[in-house]
């Protein structure tokens, strides 16, 4: 199933100069970049985005970390994009993430773990609407499209 998913390149990604490397991996996999912008997250946005963590003792620390620098929010699209991006990203704790994953290769932290990714198609839709206006998500066909998918894989 063709899906769109959110990827946030966190301050740890920007401050370590890994933006190009991380985006390269998604592009090389064959995911289509449908939207990308840099923004400074606010406390209100983070309260909403991380509401499921509000009762955790590390909640404020996560919010503070996400506001140190701007972030880059991305929308990637592809067949089973949510699952593919999550697999490429690896476990939340970089120390436990498998080598070869983004976090496994670039993170030693539970918090400073390079990227945020949507965990389900339902949450992807909610998160994308939180960070993108409809006109900021673009539809186009990759020139290599026929070499990324078989003719019957992409509807």
In a domain, 7, yes or no: yes
**Can 116 be counted among the known catalytic residues?**
yes
Confidence of residue 155 (pLDDT cuts 50, 70, 90): low
Confidence of residue 154 (pLDDT cuts 50, 70, 90): confident
Instruction: Provide the residue range defining the domain that includes 71.
Output: 2-136
Backbone phi, psi, residue 32, to 5°: -95, 125
In a domain, 11, yes or no: yes
CATH code at 86?
3.30.70.141
CA distance 72 to 50: 17
Q: Give the rounded percent of residues in the chain with a pLDDT score beyond 70.
A: 99
In a domain, 88, yes or no: yes
CA distance 4 to 124: 7
In a domain, 143, yes or no: no
pLDDT digits (tens, 9 = 90+) for 136-153: 999 999 999 999 999 899
Distant-in-sequence contacts of 108-111, Cβ < 8 A, 24+ apart: 109/12, 111/58, 111/61, 111/62, 111/65
In a domain, 98, yes or no: yes
In a domain, 155, yes or no: no
Mean pLDDT on 52-70: 96
- CA-to-CA dists, residue 79 to 6, 31, 58, angstroms: 14, 8, 34
Number of domains forming the structure of the chain: 1
């Amino acid at each position: 199933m063709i899906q769109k998913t959110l990827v946030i390149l966190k301050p740890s990604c920007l401050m370590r100069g890994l933006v190009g490397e991380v985006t390269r991996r998604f592009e090389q996999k064959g995911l289509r970049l449908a939207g990308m912008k840099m923004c400074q997250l606010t406390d209100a946005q983070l309260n909403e985005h991380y509401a499921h963590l509000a009762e955790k003792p590390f909640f404020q620390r996560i919010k503070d970390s996400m506001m140190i620098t701007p972030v880059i929010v991305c929308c990637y699209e592809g067949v089973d994009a949510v699952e593919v991006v999550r697999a490429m990203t690896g476990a939340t704790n970089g120390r436990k993430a498998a080598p070869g994953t983004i976090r496994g290769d670039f993170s030693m932290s539970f918090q400073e773990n390079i990227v945020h990714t949507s965990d389900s198609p339902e949450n992807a839709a909610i998160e994308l609407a939180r960070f993108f206006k409809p006109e900021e998500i673009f539809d186009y066909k990759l020139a290599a499209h026929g070499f990324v998918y078989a003719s019957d894989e992409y509807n």
